[in-house]
Structure 1
Amino acid sequence: MTDPTGSNDTTGRDPDSIQRLLETDSGARHPAGPIGYFLLAVALCWSLFQIWHASPLPFMLDFGVFNSTQARALHLGFAMLLAYLAWPARRGRTGDTRIPWFDWVLALTGGFAATYVFWFYAGLSERPGIPLTRDIVVAAIGMLLLLEAARRTLGLPLVIVALVFLAYVFFGDAAILPEMLRWKGASIDRAMSHQWLTTEGVYGIALGVSTSFVFLFVLFGSLLEQAGAGGWFIRVAFSLLGAMRGGPAKAAVLASGMTGVISGSSIANVVTTGTFTIPLMRRVGFTRDKAGAIEVASSVNGQLMPPVMGAAAFLMVEYVGISYVEVIRHAILPAIIAYAALLYMVHLEALKGDMRGLPRRHPWHPLNAIIAFGFTIAGLIILSAAVYWGIGWIRTVAGDAAVWIVTAVLAAIHVGLIRHAARFERPPADDPSAPLTEIPDPGPTIQSGLHFLLPVILLIWCLMVERLSPGLSAFWATVALIAILLTQRPLFAWFRGDIPIAPEFARGGIELVHGLIGGARNMTGIAVATATAGIIVGTVTLTGIGQVMTEFVELISGGNLLAMLILTAFICLVLGMGLPTTANYIVVSSLMAPVVVTLAGEQGLIVPLIAVHLFVFYFGIMADVTPPVGLASFAAAAVSGGDPIRTGVHAFVYSLRTVVLPFLFLFNTELLLIGVDSIPHLVLTTVVAIIGMLVFAAGTQGWFLRRCRVWETAALLLVAFSLFRPGFWIDRIVPPFEDISAARLESWVQALPANEDLRLVVERQDYDGDTKSIVTVVDTGPKADFNTRMREAGFVFLQRAGENWTAEPAFNGPLDDPRYQPEMTIERIRAPVDQPRSEWIYIPALLLLGGIMAVQWRRPGDFEKRTTNEHE
């Protein structure tokens, strides 16, 4: 066997294991004959249905309009059909060409149960909460078949989690449960009605997001891959970074990051890009385990990279209640600095091993790269400005006809880019795993596929500028991509003039059909995962276990905020083990996000909800890395021939920056661009964050300019902490708050400006008789008298009690908490204190960093000492 470099394969790869991993997303069965065509037709019909549902055509034609519940039912129905027809009962079997009769029965039964809400929607809406026996029977059968579909497509972990939660629904009053966890339990009628016949469980928000947004983005990624963009991403990454020290590893990070932008699966990312990148990393000196670990760290981090984020971005829109653009804005900086740090870690690994890159096809001076990069950035800025103002001008002049003019301009740009790309050397069969013995020139490589960026730019334009919904944005981007698929091969043939044009039209059509089918098959597991995760969400809403989790974490952590966060992170890791990204986020956000909000708030740390959701999301996807379950690590080991556990350990070390980041942005929300209100502030925040993460990477790797001594490692970590959390030191110098007697509450509130926060320490008693002092922050609303502003803040029945005040919370107000008795005592006011700006801490931190650099610069490096010794 030969590897992609053209040399003998020394990776020890197991082709069967790799094939099984690839089929995890799309199913292992590929029957031939009429049955095979039927299976393809089901997948094709699903994609066409989703495109129709996302398009404006149903409303324009007043035909085929489905409400959200009906669309969710059809979405799950297609997924259930494919889950039983494309995935065999025994996981791991590849190349199945036969579908046994019982799978046909299960597929049809599961499809009917999933679409039951669609067929009987009118009757169910007329008798809400009063199910018939038939409804309960169908719901119970559907629930069982959904769990089996999840086992086939996703494995046992999600099924086990769902079964545990279902058991809690029915046996919540069992004596074996601790008193804290018990609840009264539910009947079969109530549980099945809640989980299957309402939008609280299986057909809840998660499946709704899968139906409305996620499918179109997965389909978009499948079509983009079918068009050849995946191979182009890899070639671009290697042309830019492959010749650097440890270049293949750096190229793997960049390629996986670009692929992760459009991919919803870290495992698929590992297998598809890793098949090419891991052997090349081995070639320049990385061990099997480290090569696999670098691919794991970069591929899993692809789920953090906007605009898709493994579909979690669209779920956050619904769960957090902010716009999609805001989610992207908050998530972008942590993702960028995580990738920058990983690139730097790879560079440090290459320095440790004195590794080199692959040879370039032609000499390429670094200065040329800098100049080319500068011109590229300037060109993009000018082009962006021209497009932005140009489209605005066209709208003003052309009115409703502007859409057709812009479409014609995009078509002309597409033709022009392909004409330009046709001048360059054709990649070998567009195969990313083709032999690579030297690094191609960046210019021609990049220019040969610029037309792939058109639908991506259109997608971002619709999302960010036009502010269309994610579903409609993905629809228009998909339409553009379909046009590219159908026309790019004929256009290349025309401009190159070396092959007939007519057959290329047919090839483009075939690729389009394959992309539509591949998108549906890739989506099956995600749809089943979101539906199954809906069982957990339904359990939370039915039983109130979210409140129990809050009490549990608070009890175990002893009330310490940092211990609470660490315990929450650990629970997210455990809950996320073996789950795909989408289901993972649904589970951890449903259970753990309210815990962080509540417990942090009680400690006086007021955290934006998006920060909390990103916190649990980061730790949820770390389960793909962390042994012993880390599925991405097993996938990389199958490619590299390394040990999965050692690969996972190395990947976890490379991912330490991902572990640290969520803690940092909880305490310093500027990393999420919250409170960043000017361009200079944005630049300062970005630059300092990147420097801090690079210094942290150097500290954890034990190598900066030279191999670090113990004190240097400690100093680097101190610098990194100071750059990320400068407010910590300012708080030690000047405490942020001072306590003021509650006796001054009335005059204090009357003096507060409009809509100013009021921070109070209140004493509350829970229903077990335990008393706690809690920090609470409330908004006092517009200027008014004392009683009015306190009512606005959520206090009622307020009265003086000596030095303190007693009060009760307004019903459903910000202070209404079912864990505590209504009456509370306001003990004191926590007044903010004027502090020096936290940015002053950057100066001593950077001076310390400069001192470390000076010390290490004077010290000879390991390779210099080795060369000197050999010479002597």
Structure 2
Amino acid sequence: MSLARPWNRDKKKADDTVALEGYSRETDTRPYLGKWAWLVTLMGVTLTCFHLYTGYFGTLPSQLQGAVHLGLALGMIFILYPATRGKGNRTQVPIYDVILAFAATFTAYYKILFYEEVLRARVTGYSTLDLTTAVLGVLFVLEATRRTVGVPIVIMAGLAIGYALFGNFIPTQLLSHSGFALSEISPYLWFRESGVFGTPLQISARFIFLFLFFGVVLMHTGVGQYFNDLAFAITGRFTGGAGKAAVVASCLQGMISGSSIGNTVASGSFTIPMMKNARFRPEVAGAVEASASTGGQIMPPLMGAAAFIMVEYVGVSYREIMISALIPALLYFVGIFIGVHFEAKRHHILGLPKEQLPSKRRLMLEKGYMLLPLFAIVSTIMLGFTAQRAALLGIACAFAVSLIRKDTRPSLIGLLKIVEQGARVALPVIAAVASAGIIAGVVGMTGLGSKFAAGIISLADGVLILALLFTMLACIVLGMGLPTTANYVVTATIAAPALINEFGLAPIAVHLFVFYFGIIADITPPVCLAAFAGAGIAGANPMKTGFTAVKLAIGAFIIPYAFIYNPMLVMVDATVPGLLATVLFALLGIMGVSSAMIGHLIRDSLPWERLVLLAAGLAMVVPELVTSGIGLLAMAAVVWIQSRRPAHANLESLAS
């Protein structure tokens, strides 16, 4: 029996789209393209085929690869995404957007058409046409980003350009610089390797696109629904089974989607009603889905798009990024799982009846082959092949899997739609990394990175915990307006070097630190878009859902500090005994903190017990034997006290 059977899948797909609107600009495309639909299909298929070809036969020189990548993406964006969000603007493609599409594509392809001349101009000087193209190219990127991602990142990029232009007027010596003319800034950002076409866009053009396409192919094979069914089969019968199944399903789906909001809606349209039917409160149901879906970006093998940029910034292989990220990601999901368990125990929410659950045996025998693409991509990376090769093998395996069953076997038209959808999914990421390249380019051009680092060190006065707190706040605030990828590029460029150089921290630990806090902005009030999306499906109060998500995902605020102070968690200088002890205490610490947040351990907790559990949990996360031992004893004391308390004791009378 499949849990999905009572639902109409076409209706669910339409409901997903409606639910996403208002929370993510990524889905706010024109549904009717009229006579221009063929052009979008042609550009989308061309873009995907280009990446498949260069992934197999080898990429072009970086500037040419990036130009094709960005040029086609800009053309598609101006046709697909309206300038404003009014319904009237979404029903037709105005001629000015078609003109903008061709003009934007030309500005990127200018680098291809005049490749040799542009390279020589770095020495001989840029012509008026070069400068005009560069200015227009930057403006087109900013407008495309506004349409696909939103205004905040455009404002940041605009402020960065303004800083480059007028930095000489800043009175503070710490931030001021000599100032640059527009004729210096525009070619630097457009024709050099450190601006729009810098590392973020290059990684997008080489790796990220292929992995996004892999996720699209997997979803079209029905893997997402299979993950839901498998999660319910494994955990559905236990206490709070519907909530625990939602955590497992979102973890599995998040590995291939990489989008907090998209995953919240895709999984949540199924899991949230199930949790509500099981008597989880609406805000809890929405929060469980949002917090678990957000964690998909930190869960190997695919993680979020920024993980591929981390490869270049840290200078290690993607295999090493996966290995380093695995234990923290598992701790994150175990923390949410524990929180759901305590919430269910506190409100006496039982598991689902056996007749409502699919059969594990039947799922594995009939559809177990759906896991093959994931096994293929993980094993390929672990064997030392490049990320591009792994993605290509995963895509080929996913297509092969889709041919096994008639209901997932695509027709020729269906295949074209999948290939086009692969390009569509990548558009917001391409626009975001291009704008992030503007910010990173200005940082390099003006020396802002070293100035910001000096500012953090000065404010922290050489105290590591203060520097970490300031960096965390910067990541969360930036994450409230920037996509994760752009947020990571900015913080990895500005804040990470300060922590690495001043305090001698492990680079992988620092980069994962800023990566984590950029991601959890999606569930951190007041701008917690994933939580808002979950609340919309659950019919709950958005802010209550956001604060509940923070309580459930409290481990995400602790784990990054744990692996900074004990990099063994990210496999730096790890030994087997040390790693086992570290993971054990980290699990117990997260359990203590989660119990304090929910208010239940083995019984409902008194206020003072919650404080003790919070302190004990934090103490056990600290990589120091004495503090961990004290925390363990304190937690054991609370367990002993609660075990002696009657199950239905009146807490109010005990507290008084």
Using the size of structure 1 for normalisation, the TM-score is 0.70
Aligned equivalent of 1:536, options 420, 439, 456: 439
Partner of 1:693: 590
How far apart are 1:696 and its partner, in Å?
2.3
Q: Is this contact kept in 2: 1:139–1:192, CA < 8 A?
A: yes
How far apart are residue 242 of structure 1 and its match?
2.1
In structure 2, the partner of 1:613 is 511
The correspondence for 1:479, drawn from 396, 409, 413, is 396
Q: Given residue 25 of structure 1, which amino acid in structure 2 is its aligned partner?
A: E
Q: Secondary structure at the match of 1:703?
A: coil
Paired letter, 1:150? T
Provide, for residues 414-440 of structure 1, a one-character-per-residue CA deviation record: whole Å limited to 9, x for no partner: xxxxxxxxxxxxxxxxxxxxxxxx222
Shift of 1:470: 0.6
Pairing 1:716–2:632 present: no
Contact 2:335/2:554 (CA < 8 Å) preserved in 1? no
The Cα shift of 1:182 comes to: 1.2
Deviations 1:753-797 (A, max 9, x none): xxxxxxxxxxxxxxxxxxxxxxxxxxxxxxxxxxxxxxxxxxxxx
Deviation at 1:661, TM superposition (A): 1.3
1:576-595, Cα deviation, whole Å (9 max, x unpaired): 22322212211221121112
Higher fraction of strand: 1
CA distance in 2, matches of 1:653, 1:696: 9
Instruction: Compute the displacement of 1:846 (Å).
Output: 3.7
* Partner of residue 11, structure 2: none
- Are 1:136 and 2:131 an aligned pair? yes
8 A contact 2:20–2:265 mirrored in 1: no
Where does residue 374 of structure 2 map in the other structure? 456
The corresponding residue for 1:309 is 303
Instruction: Quote the residue 1:201 is aligned against.
Output: 195
Deviation at 1:39, TM superposition (A): 1.4
**Alpha-carbon separation, structure 2, partners of 1:508 and 1:484:** 14
CA–CA distance in 2 between the matches of 1:321 and 1:655?
A: 30
Q: Is the 8 A contact 2:23 2:529 kept in 1?
A: no
**Aligned partner of residue 179 in structure 1, secondary structure:** coil
Q: Percent identity?
A: 34
The counterpart of 1:489, out of the listed 387, 392, 405, is 405
- Cα distance in 2 for partners of 1:108, 1:25 equals 21
**8 Å contact from structure 2 (residues 16, 265) kept in 1:** no
- Residue type matched to 2:440 in 1? V
The answer for the alignment partner of 2:277 in structure 1 is 283
Residue 349 (structure 1) aligned with residue 343 (structure 2):
yes
1:563: which partner in 2? 466
Tell me how far 1:276 sits from its aligned partner: 0.9
Contact kept? 1:26, 1:521, Cα under 8 Å: no
What SS is found at the alignment partner of 1:708?
coil
Distance of aligned partners of 1:151 and 1:674 in 2 relative to their CA distance in 1, 3 Å threshold: same
Report the alpha carbon displacement of residue 307 of structure 1 after superposing the two structures with TM.
1.8
Relative to structure 1, the CA distance from residue 705 to residue 582 in structure 2 (aligned partners, 3 Å threshold; closer, same or farther) is: same
1:625 maps onto 2:523 in alignment? yes
Decide which of 238, 247, 271 is 2:241's aligned counterpart. 247
Select which of 412, 420, 425 maps to 1:522.
Answer: 425
Distance 2:412 2:337 in 1: 39
Separation in 1, partners of 2:36, 2:516: 42
Q: Work out the CA distance in 2 between the residues paired with 1:94 and 1:295.
A: 33
CA contact 2:28–2:85 (8 Å) conserved in 1: no
1:45 aligned onto 2:46: yes
CA change 1:571–1:32 in 2 (3 A) is: closer
Which has a greater percent of helix?
A: 2
CA distance in 2, matches of 1:270, 1:71: 33
Higher Cα radius of gyration: 1
Distance 1:335 1:259 in 2: 14
How many equivalent residue pairs? 642
Matched, 1:860 2:646: yes
Please name the residue that 2:456 is paired with. Answer: 553
Amino acid across the alignment from 1:541 = G
Please give the alpha-carbon distance, in whole angstroms, between the structure 2 residues aligned to 1:460 and 1:116. Answer: 38
- After TM superposition, give the deviation of residue 146 of structure 1 in Å: 0.7
Question: In structure 2, what is the Cα distance between the partners aligned to 1:15 and 1:250?
Answer: 22
Pairwise CA distance, 1:697: 1.4
In structure 2, the CA distance between the partners of 1:220 and 1:113, relative to structure 1 (3 Å rule), is: same
Letter aligned with residue 147 of structure 2: R
Deviation for aligned residue 1:21: 5.5
AA paired with 2:597?
A: T
AA in 1 matched with 2:405: R
1:663 to 561, 583, 588: 561
Aligned mates of 1:848, 1:264 — CA distance in 2: 39
- Separation in structure 2 between the aligned mates of residue 459 and residue 293 of structure 1, nearest angstrom: 31
Q: Which residue of 1 aligns with 2:535?
A: 637
Aligned to 1:407: none
Letter in 1 for 2:386: S
Contact 1:195 1:201 in 2 (8 A): yes
Structure 2 distance, partners of 1:853, 1:34, is 68
Structure 1 residues 651 and 519: CA distance shift in structure 2, 3 A: same
Bigger relative CO (Cα 8 Å, ≥ 6 apart): 2
Q: Which amino acid aligns with 1:638?
A: G
CA shift, 1:282, in A, is 1.3
Q: Which letter does structure 2 place at the counterpart of 1:135?
A: D
Counterparts of 1:271 and 1:683, CA distance in 2: 36
Residue 559 of structure 1: how far off its partner (Å): 4.0
Residue 10 (structure 2) aligns with? none
Q: CA deviation at 1:633?
A: 2.0
Cα distance in 1 between the residues matched to 2:24 and 2:619:
46
Inter-partner Cα distance in structure 1 for 2:413 and 2:591: 46
More off after superposition, 219-228 vs 666-675:
666-675
8 Å CA contact retained: 2:621, 2:628: no
What CA deviation, in whole Å up to 9, does each residue of 1:112-143 have, x standing for no partner? 11222122111112232522111110010011
Instruction: After superposition, give the CA deviation of every residue in 1:614-656 in whole Å (9 maximum; x if it has no partner).
Output: 1111111122112222221222222222222222122122222
Measure, in 2, the Cα distance between the counterparts of 1:335 and 1:263: 16
Deviation of 1:251 after TM superposition, in Å, equals 1.1
The Cα shift of 1:193 comes to 1.3
Instruction: Give, in angstroms, the shift of residue 847 of structure 1.
Output: 4.1
Q: Residue 122 of structure 2: SS of its match in structure 1?
A: coil
- Structure-2 separation of matches of 1:5 and 1:450: 18
Q: Which ranges of structure 2 fall in alignment gaps of 5 or more residues?
A: 8-13, 652-656
What is the distance in 2 between the residues matched to 1:23 and 1:865? 45
Distance 1:677 1:510, change over 3 A: farther
1:665-724 per-position Cα deviation (integer Å, ceiling 9, x unaligned): 11111221222133x444333333323222221123221111223343333234323332
TM-score by length of 2: 0.93
Deviation at 1:97, TM superposition (A): 4.0
How far apart, CA to CA, are the structure 1 residues paired with 2:630 and 2:149? 51
**Corresponding residue of 1:443:** 361
Cα deviation, 1:825-856, whole Å, max 9, x if unaligned, reads: xxxxxxxxxxxxx4x76555444433332221
For residues 221-240 of structure 1, the aligned pairs below 5 Å read 221-240=215-234
Q: Which residue of 1 aligns with 2:146?
A: 151
Q: What is the DSSP-based 3-state SS (H/G/I as helix, E as strand, rest coil) of the residue aligned with 2:167? A: coil
AA paired with 1:674?
A: V
CA-based RMSD of the aligned residues comes to 2.4
Partner-residue secondary structure (3-state), 2:404:
helix
SS at match of 1:624: helix
Change (3 A) 1:27 1:43: farther
CA distance in 2, matches of 1:146, 1:847: 57
In 2, the alpha carbon distance for the partners of 1:520 and 1:270 equals 21
In the superposition, relative to structure 1, how do residues 542 and 32 fare at CA in structure 2: closer, same or farther (>3 Å)? closer
Q: Deviations over 1:380-406 (max 9, x none)?
A: xxxxxxxxxxxxxxxxxxxxxxxxxxx
For residues 172-225 of structure 1, the C-alpha deviation after alignment (integer angstroms, 9 at most, x for no partner) is 1225x5332211111111101110000111000000100100000000000000
Q: Is the 1:550–1:598 Cα contact (8 Å) retained in structure 2?
A: no
Following the alignment from structure 1 to structure 2, what is the Cα–Cα distance between the partners of residues 94 and 327? Answer: 45
- Pick which of 475-484 and 142-151 moved more: 475-484
Query: Matches of 1:146 and 1:313 in 2, distance apart?
Result: 23
The answer to whether the 8 A contact 1:266-1:632 is kept is yes
